Structure 1
Amino acid sequence: MTEFRTEQFTHKGGRPNNEDYCGFLTLKSFACWVAADGAGGHNGGETASKTAVEAVLEAFEASPGLTSRHLTNYLEKAQGEIIKKQQAPDLSSMRTTIALLVSDYKNCMWAHAGDTRLYMFKGSRIYFQTKDHSVPQALADAGEITVEEIRCHEDRNRILKCLGAEGGVRATIMDNKVSVEKGDAFLICTDGFWDNITETEMEIDYAKSETPEKWLCHMRSRIIRRVDGEYDNYSAIAVGVG
């Protein structure tokens, strides 16, 4: 079985509260990693993201598997737990973005809702990255702005899909497995993280890092040099294969 090494961190940034939450669980035959970025005021964002991550990991532990149905079930569990907690008046508007990765140590699948992203790296290059469910991403897809302009667009915070909204789970969920090999890596990160570091910089820092811990350290150093004042929470999970 190929070894998977994980490092993660979450930081409140320049905000009084941290509405990001992340976690992972490794079992004998499967593993799951998940990050979320909440919103909702009155501690709603913090509650939403933590509820989502914990619910996904609990559902995964109870029924580990690597199919689109499994991923859907994990997200439905998270959606259900958030809806329950929305019955409290001060949590009625809470929502959260989410991205999750599941692997059997040979193959992997992922799902996401909102603008928390997942990147897969092969040969020190980005092999795949999720597309945000956001207004700027829709504009980029339509050719009205460039992908690079997503980061600075005035509607950057207008999210089109998330957990906690009415109508059930609305997410992008993979249909097929992707094989993983020694040297591959994954980065799951909230928008406060990727907003302050480019994809090219992610690749550069990955190429010069021997471990997920060093990779995150290099990227976090870039972010710290760039942010000031009331900047967003930022969180990431790095997973190295082999």
Structure 2
Amino acid sequence: MKMITALLSNQGGRKNNEDFADYCLTETGGCWVVADGLGGHKGGETASKTAAHTILSTFKKNPSLSNESLPNCINEAHHNLLKLQQNQHSPFSFRTTITILTIENEKARWGHIGDSRLYHFKNSIIQSQTKDHSLCQTLVNIGEINQEEIRFHEDRSRLLQALGMEKQLKPSIITDSVSLHNDDAFLLCTDGFWEYVTEKEMEHTLLKAKTPQQWLTFMQDILLPRVSKKHDNYTAIAIFIAERGEEHVGI
């Protein structure tokens, strides 16, 4: 089974890119990470890279889908960000969202902190998606707004959790691993991406795409006409599960 990956990250209309995405492969799987350094918190660029690198290196030392694996990766990244704040005596706040996909032996588990999302598709249909750790998601949960209204709600950027916050983390991690097949696909993306591409558009473009790179290109073509000149960074990783193929494409 091959995991064919394409990656897209763009600073958008901002001076720098506080998003970061990367992945590593193991003999029987891999780990994929998307992070979004919090806007308004100086040090976001450092935070997203530090968190992603920590998670990948921690997973690579002990690639596993055990109940301890993802919490260990997240805790290591969280502690490294807290150390940055303490050791540098810096006015910067090193905080970031994080979304992680891990695959081993044709099974997957994932988890996240914040509002960077993971979507799991089968036959081009969304099977599941992560729920944001945000004020808006809380409003959805209590029935005050619907899921679609999150995209342009005035409080959409108010997060309840992020790596580097000096509070106890409660990451969302799926309980059981998911068996993978050749018709599975994953999309990990920051809010600068999913705010401008709807779930129906994700499904429609996936149905037409022959490669993960083409899928990202289709979605970027939808995104660009909708954003303002000073729009946010946007980042996404697309993964196709297939019998064979190239393992990586970056755009």
TM-score for both structures, normalised by structure 2: 0.93
1:76 pairs with 2:75: yes
Q: 1:7 — aligned with what?
A: 6
Query: Are the equivalent residues in 1 in contact too, given 2:124–2:206 (CA < 8 A)?
Result: yes
SS of the equivalent of 2:68 reads: helix
Q: 2:177 — aligned with what?
A: 177
Q: Distance in 1 between matches of 2:59 and 2:194?
A: 26
Query: Are the equivalent residues in 2 in contact too, given 1:85–1:91 (CA < 8 A)?
Result: no
Q: Distance in 1 between matches of 2:23 and 2:65?
A: 15
Query: Are the equivalent residues in 2 in contact too, given 1:20–1:36 (CA < 8 A)?
Result: yes
Q: Distance in 2 between matches of 1:52 and 1:167?
A: 17
Q: Distance in 2 between matches of 1:180 and 1:42?
A: 38
Query: Are the equivalent residues in 2 in contact too, given 1:9–1:237 (CA < 8 A)?
Result: yes
The CA RMSD over aligned residues, in Å, is 1.3
Matches within 5 A, 1:112-127: 112-127=112-127
The percentage of aligned residue pairs carrying the same residue is 45
Q: Distance in 2 between matches of 1:98 and 1:126?
A: 21
AA matched with 2:80 = E
Q: Distance in 1 between matches of 2:173 and 2:91?
A: 27
Query: Are the equivalent residues in 1 in contact too, given 2:108–2:179 (CA < 8 A)?
Result: yes
AA matched with 1:159 = L
Query: Are the equivalent residues in 2 in contact too, given 1:182–1:241 (CA < 8 A)?
Result: yes
Matches within 5 A, 1:202-213: 202-213=202-213
Q: 2:245 — aligned with what?
A: none
AA matched with 1:237 = I
Q: Distance in 2 between matches of 1:38 and 1:176?
A: 29
Q: Distance in 2 between matches of 1:114 and 1:55?
A: 17
Query: Are the equivalent residues in 2 in contact too, given 1:18–1:46 (CA < 8 A)?
Result: yes
AA matched with 1:29 = T
Q: 1:93 — aligned with what?
A: 93
Q: 1:138 — aligned with what?
A: 138
Matches within 5 A, 1:11-26: 11-26=10-25
Off by >6 Å, runs of 4+ in structure 1 = none
Query: Are the equivalent residues in 1 in contact too, given 2:186–2:240 (CA < 8 A)?
Result: yes
Matches within 5 A, 1:228-239: 228-239=228-239
Q: Distance in 1 between matches of 2:91 and 2:22?
A: 22
Q: Distance in 2 between matches of 1:119 and 1:213?
A: 16
TM-score for both structures, normalised by structure 1: 0.96
Q: Distance in 1 between matches of 2:175 and 2:67?
A: 6
**Per-residue deviation, 1:90:** 3.2
SS of the equivalent of 2:44 reads: helix
Query: Are the equivalent residues in 1 in contact too, given 2:47–2:96 (CA < 8 A)?
Result: yes
Query: Are the equivalent residues in 2 in contact too, given 1:114–1:160 (CA < 8 A)?
Result: yes
**Per-residue deviation, 1:158:** 0.4
**Per-residue deviation, 1:126:** 0.4
Q: Distance in 1 between matches of 2:24 and 2:64?
A: 13
Matches within 5 A, 1:190-209: 190-209=190-209
**Per-residue deviation, 1:221:** 1.0
**Per-residue deviation, 1:91:** 5.1
SS of the equivalent of 1:196 reads: coil
Q: Distance in 1 between matches of 2:16 and 2:216?
A: 22
Q: 2:36 — aligned with what?
A: 37
Query: Are the equivalent residues in 1 in contact too, given 2:41–2:95 (CA < 8 A)?
Result: no
Q: Distance in 1 between matches of 2:138 and 2:58?
A: 31
Structure 2: where are the runs of 5+ without partners?
243-251
Query: Are the equivalent residues in 1 in contact too, given 2:33–2:101 (CA < 8 A)?
Result: yes
AA matched with 1:162 = A
Q: 1:220 — aligned with what?
A: 220
Structure 1: where are the runs of 5+ without partners?
none
Q: Distance in 2 between matches of 1:23 and 1:43?
A: 22
Query: Are the equivalent residues in 2 in contact too, given 1:26–1:32 (CA < 8 A)?
Result: yes
**Per-residue deviation, 1:166:** 1.4
SS of the equivalent of 2:158 reads: coil
More deviation, 80-89/16-25:
80-89
